[in-house]
Amino acid sequence: MPIIVNLDVMMAKRKMSLNELSEKVGLTLSNLSILKTGKAKAIRFSTLDAICKVLDCQPADILEYREELS
């Protein structure tokens, strides 16, 4: 997938654990883990909005486009 999820990088910058983010965003740990590991197929705007609000960042800080090397 050429879309990279940099949630772990942003969490490290804000010194926030997965448990804390899960509580503040209102997502289950398993769903947040799916998102963090890049297994997710899509992300809802409402989820993105909540994550950006909690981590005080922009969507571009979490999502990145990287061209696939074939």
Partner 1 sequence: MEIKITSRQTLNVLLILSWIIFAGLCIEAGGFIANAIFAIANPAVVTRLWQQIDLSALFAYDHGHFFAVTLIMSIVAVMKAWLFFLIIRILHKKDLDMSQPFNKKVRIFIFQLSYVTLVIGLFSWYGVKYTRWMVEQGVSMPDTLYLRLGGADVWLFMAVVLFIIVQIFKRGIEIQSENELTI
d(CA 63, CA 60): 5
Minimum distance of partner 1 from residue 48's CB (angstroms): 9
Contacts of 58 (CB under 8 A, 6+ apart): 52
Evaluated on CA atoms 46, 36, 66, 57, the torsion sign reads positive
Specify whether the CB–CB gap between 42 and 49 falls below 8 A: no
Residue 10 vs 70, nearer CB to partner 1: 10
User: Is 18 one of the binding residues for partner 1 (CB under 8 A)?
Assistant: no
Of the candidates 2, 15, 17, 44, which one interacts with partner 1 according to CB under 8 A? 44
Closer CB to partner 1, 30 or 69, in the complex: 30
Residue from the set 8, 18, 22, 34 that interacts with partner 1 by CB under 8 A:
34
